[in-house]
């Protein structure tokens, strides 16, 4: 073989070797990618929070960050609107659909899902991050000393008020029920609506429910009510809804409240036409947006004898006990309900992280935190009712009373519903 032939053969060998090397590398890369893809676990997370109208971006950003930090786990976000949420979760749980992590918005909804199957939730007691939360925030998801849910940011219910308007009119913040009535009378005299109220079914509870908390409606009282040991005619309940009716009869709410929607009542305080509004602290940001120059703050509904701060945990994150990936689900819940995510959620919502070590920069949120973290702070009363369905029946009956139904008829229909639920147990 001459020199030219030997050169040609060497070139061919080098090219083949080069192609073989490249081919080997490509095959290795494909195999590795396929292995990574094959090992990726998909968790389905169902929630009513995954909507831009409810600060959904924070949740999607958190999910994206979690996936980046945990490339072996993919989160399938499953958004269910509020109105369809209870039924949607029940369908998924009973129908056998994949459902790994999901949210509840109240302890009563937590119990309603649990009524489907007593072991529906995965226990989290031994998960390290459970020790990060305020003890009071864990009580609603603690059963016989075992923890089954992770609390998110905390709110409180009662009255938001326009401090700017209070200052302009020289009004002091009321500390008792009688002082509240006096402040309302002065506001009425100034042609300012004292308390914005609306016709939406969920609004009134934030006022009369707070009065019940002040009067001593705790878990023990609620269990006695549901078991039949005490009746709905108990003065604690009757006086609370009568006190609410009193502010309507005195003309301290909008004259057209029966036709108002909640967004319209928020307009009233946001634009300075009303001094207060019955709602929860989650409404502070949207009311501020209506007129940023107004200083919107929160106060508990003053009691006749004492004022008891109440806690409303907006969301509890739980894990389906039938998940195929319990450890990965715990890791996801730990991240989504951890300090960093809660601080981001709280920053834009004047909310209070349920994580003890979290930082609070907003002065109004700090004021709320001072109330909800007190030792005597209790769960907001309607949320103590055992199921979402019973809670809703009670609220709707009270709303009918506030809009004109007789007290006797209201108490009768509530007692019938309580009896019906008790008979099914």
Q: Rounded to a whole number, what is the distance in angstroms from the first to the last CA of the chain?
A: 98
The verdict on 395 and 248 lying in the same domain is yes
The verdict on 76 and 103 lying in the same domain is yes
Residue 58, token pair as written in the block: 């924070």
Q: Would strands 73-79 and 41-47 be described as parallel, antiparallel, or unpaired? A: parallel
The verdict on 148 and 173 lying in the same domain is no
The verdict on 146 and 164 lying in the same domain is no
pLDDT in tens, the chain (425 residues): 444 344 433 343 333 333 333 433 332 333 333 334 458 999 999 999 887 555 568 889 999 999 999 999 999 999 998 889 999 999 999 998 999 999 998 888 999 999 999 999 999 999 999 999 998 899 889 999 999 999 999 999 999 999 999 999 999 999 999 999 999 999 999 999 999 999 998 999 999 999 999 999 998 999 999 999 999 999 999 999 999 999 999 999 999 999 999 999 999 999 999 999 999 998 998 999 999 999 999 999 999 999 999 999 889 999 999 999 999 999 999 999 999 999 988 887 889 999 999 999 888 899 899 989 888 888 889 989 988 889 999 999 999 999 999 999 999 999 999 998 877 76
The verdict on 129 and 202 lying in the same domain is no
The verdict on 301 and 414 lying in the same domain is yes
CB 171 within 8 A of CB 207: no
> Using CA atoms, how far apart are residues 147 and 337, in angstroms rounded to an integer?
15
DSSP state, residue 119: T
pLDDT computed for residue 330 by the predictor: 97
Catalogue the E-assigned strands of 57-134.
Answer: 73-79, 101-104
The verdict on 356 and 368 lying in the same domain is yes
CA distances from 388 to 85, 383, 416 (A): 12, 8, 17
Report the C-alpha dihedral over residues 222, 388, 319, 223, rounded to 10 degrees: 10
pLDDT computed for residue 268 by the predictor: 98
* Residue 405's CATH number: 3.40.190.10
Domain presence at residue 22:
no
Domain presence at residue 352:
yes
Range list of H helices, 72-106: 82-95
Domain presence at residue 181:
yes
The answer to whether the predicted template modeling score (pTM) of the entire model surpasses 0.85 is: no
Domain presence at residue 19:
no
The verdict on 150 and 291 lying in the same domain is no
The verdict on 115 and 170 lying in the same domain is no
| Cα dihedral across residues 255, 259, 265, 267: positive or negative | negative
Residue 367, token pair as written in the block: 């004021």
For 71, the 3-state DSSP assignment is coil
* Structural element, H or E, at residue 151: strand 150-151
The DSSP annotation for 352-364 comes to B-SBTT-----HH
pLDDT computed for residue 55 by the predictor: 57
* Exposed/middle/buried for residue 383 (C-beta within 10 Å: 0-12, 13-18, 19+): buried
The verdict on 144 and 120 lying in the same domain is yes
The verdict on 355 and 319 lying in the same domain is yes
Domain presence at residue 377:
no
| Domain ranges, residue 139 | 39-154+313-372
Residue 46, strand partner residues:
78, 102
* Domain count along the chain: 2
The DSSP annotation for 378-410 comes to EE-GGGGSS-HHHHHHHHHHHHHHHTT--HHHH
Domain presence at residue 411:
yes
pLDDT computed for residue 14 by the predictor: 38
Domain presence at residue 361:
yes
> Using CA atoms, how far apart are residues 75 and 295, in angstroms rounded to an integer?
40
pLDDT computed for residue 53 by the predictor: 52
Query: Of 344, 380, 383, 384, which is closest to residue 361 (Cα–Cα)?
Result: 344
Domain presence at residue 32:
no
CA distances from 130 to 5, 151, 213 (A): 76, 9, 27
The verdict on 273 and 355 lying in the same domain is no
């Amino acid at each position: 073989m001459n020199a030219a032939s030997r050169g040609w053969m060497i070139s061919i060998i080098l090219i083949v070797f080069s192609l073989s090397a490249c081919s080997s590398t490509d095959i290795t890369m494909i195999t590795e990618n396929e292995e990574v893809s094959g090992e990726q676990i998909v968790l389905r997370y169902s929630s009513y929070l995954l909507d831009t109208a409810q600060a959904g971006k924070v949740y999607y950003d958190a999910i994206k960050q979690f996936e980046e930090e945990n490339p072996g786990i993919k989160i399938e976000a499953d958004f269910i609107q509020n109105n369809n949420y209870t039924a949607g979760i029940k369908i998924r749980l009973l129908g056998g659909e994949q459902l790994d992590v999901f949210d509840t918005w109240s302890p009563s909804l937590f119990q309603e899902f649990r009524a489907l199957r007593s072991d529906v939730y995965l226990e989290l007691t031994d998960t390290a991050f459970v020790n990060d939360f305020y003890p009071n925030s864990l009580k609603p998801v603690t059963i016989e000393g075992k923890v089954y849910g992770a609390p998110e940011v905390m709110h409180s219910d009662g009255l938001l008020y326009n401090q700017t308007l209070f200052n302009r009119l020289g009004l002091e913040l009321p500390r008792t029920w009688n002082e509240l009535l006096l402040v309302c009378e002065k506001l009425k005299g100034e042609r300012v609506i004292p308390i914005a109220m609306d016709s939406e079914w969920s609004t009134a509870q934030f006022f009369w429910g707070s009065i019940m908390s002040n009067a001593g409606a705790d878990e023990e009282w609620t269990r006695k009510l549901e078991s039949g040991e005490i009746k709905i005619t108990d003065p604690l309940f009757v006086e609370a809804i009568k006190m609410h009716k009193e502010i309507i009869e005195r003309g301290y709410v909008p004259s057209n409240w029966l036709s108002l929607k909640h967004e319209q009542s928020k307009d009233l305080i946001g634009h300075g036409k009303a001094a207060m509004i019955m709602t929860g602290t989650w409404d502070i940001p949207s009311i501020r947006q209506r007129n940023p120059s107004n200083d919107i703050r929160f106060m508990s509904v003053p009691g006749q004898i004492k004022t008891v701060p109440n806690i409303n945990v907006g969301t509890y994150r739980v894990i389906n006990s039938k998940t195929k990936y319990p450890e990965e689900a715990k890791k996801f819940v730990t991240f989504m309900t951890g300090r960093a995510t809660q601080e981001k959620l709280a920053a834009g919502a004047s909310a209070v992280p349920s994580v003890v070590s979290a930082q609070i920069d907003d002065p109004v949120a700090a004021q709320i935190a001072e109330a909800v973290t007190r030792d005597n702070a209790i769960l907001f009363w309607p949320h103590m009712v055992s199921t979402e369905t019973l809670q809703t029946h009670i609220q709707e009956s009270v709303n009918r009373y506030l809009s004109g139904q007789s007290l006797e008829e209201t108490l009768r229909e509530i007692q019938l519903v309580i009896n019906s639920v008790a008979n099914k147990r």
